[in-house]
A = this chain, B = another copy of it.
């Protein structure tokens, strides 16, 4: 189906999409003919456009007004016609400054997301995956309030989960330290999911065979591991408000669905999970994403690395009519910057 286009048709499609992206108006043959670079009469252009329409790359909103790219058209544009506009180094430098790292990776993700939304004037998203996380350290603190213990879990990425739990009796500080030590020795470096399952299994066997300290630790740890599973914190979205003023997304009902997707996060997580496994930048255009809420949106995501391993993905979400040439390089740079911060940091 995807027969090769003639070079002329390609050039025309490229010019049309670029024009549409900057104007937002359907593009007609006259307009395109006046455009420098193509010395063709409107009539010729009309013929070519008719071919492009047959191929499903462009369409006209109504019988007789200019053409508009379809999702397929954008796809071809992004895949093979686009000339990405690299950022100048001053810009990159400025962006790097904005990425503040204070030790809390969550803050870093938030600042990356917010940076993206400011620079692109779209919504920025950062996915902080949990599946790869492993256990680093647990600690139990006795609280003054009766029979309360604060459980603190530190994961390999440096994220910290804490939770206050009620316990059945008072534990001395020494007991708590011992329990933590046992647990740390037992599970250090193991993936969270594995530990979670293991804890669940322990709960069922309920063996009296276990040492007391280990048993205590297991009981208390269970709560915070249950928390760490919740993926609520894994996705950071910012700059949603930018989407409000984009005329392309005028349909209030669709906009509401989109915002719902931001708060629910479920669908987005699935989608972004896919982009994790890609080598480089990925662009989901319109309904390609498979989620209704994103029908009129495109998502541009780039995986970022820490010490050579992909640990998450970062990008933006905006209308299908977005300035891909700029957005792609901005997302690319952000992913690199983020990777840089994470990697130097770990050294």
A residues lining the B interface (CB < 8 Å): 102-104, 136-137, 139, 141, 143-145, 148, 150, 152, 154, 158, 160, 162-166, 227, 238-241, 244-245, 252-253, 255-256, 259-260, 262-263, 346
- Determine the distance from Cα of A137 to Cα of B164 in the docked complex, in whole angstroms: 13
Nearest CB to that of A256 among chain B residues? B244
Residues of B within 8 A of A103 (CB): 148, 163-166
Query: Could you pull out 29 A-B pairs where Cβ atoms are within 8 angstroms?
Result: A102-B163, A102-B227, A103-B148, A103-B164, A103-B165, A104-B164, A136-B144, A137-B141, A137-B144, A141-B152, A141-B154, A143-B154, A145-B346, A150-B152, A152-B152, A152-B162, A158-B164, A160-B162, A160-B164, A238-B263, A239-B263, A241-B259, A241-B260, A241-B262, A244-B255, A244-B256, A245-B252, A245-B253, A245-B256
Which of A148, A162, A163, A256 is packed against the most chain B CB atoms within 10 Å? A162
Residues of B within 8 A of A252 (CB): 244-245
State how many angstroms separate the Cβ of A139 from the closest Cβ of chain B. Answer: 6
Residues of B within 8 A of A238 (CB): 263
State how many angstroms separate the Cβ of A340 from the closest Cβ of chain B. Answer: 17
Nearest CB to that of A226 among chain B residues? B102
Q: Is the CB of A143 within 8 A of B137?
A: yes
Q: Please judge, given known A-B contacts A143-B136, A241-B256, whether A162 and B162 are in contact too, CB under 8 Å.
A: yes
Residues of B within 8 A of A163 (CB): 102-104
State how many angstroms separate the Cβ of A245 from the closest Cβ of chain B. Answer: 5
Q: Is the CB of B160 within 8 A of A150?
A: yes
State how many angstroms separate the Cβ of A296 from the closest Cβ of chain B. Answer: 15
Q: Is the CB of B245 within 8 A of A263?
A: no
- Determine the distance from Cα of A154 to Cα of B240 in the docked complex, in whole angstroms: 32
Residues of B within 8 A of A145 (CB): 346
Nearest CB to that of A254 among chain B residues? B244
Residues of B within 8 A of A263 (CB): 238-239, 241
- Determine the distance from Cα of A227 to Cα of B166 in the docked complex, in whole angstroms: 27
- Determine the distance from Cα of A253 to Cα of B240 in the docked complex, in whole angstroms: 14
Nearest CB to that of A114 among chain B residues? B263
- Determine the distance from Cα of A166 to Cα of B137 in the docked complex, in whole angstroms: 17
Residues of B within 8 A of A148 (CB): 103
- Determine the distance from Cα of A154 to Cα of B241 in the docked complex, in whole angstroms: 34
Residues of B within 8 A of A164 (CB): 103-104, 158, 160
- Determine the distance from Cα of A255 to Cα of B244 in the docked complex, in whole angstroms: 8
Residue in contact with A139 in the complex, picked from B139, B166, B239, B346, CB distance below 8 Å: B139
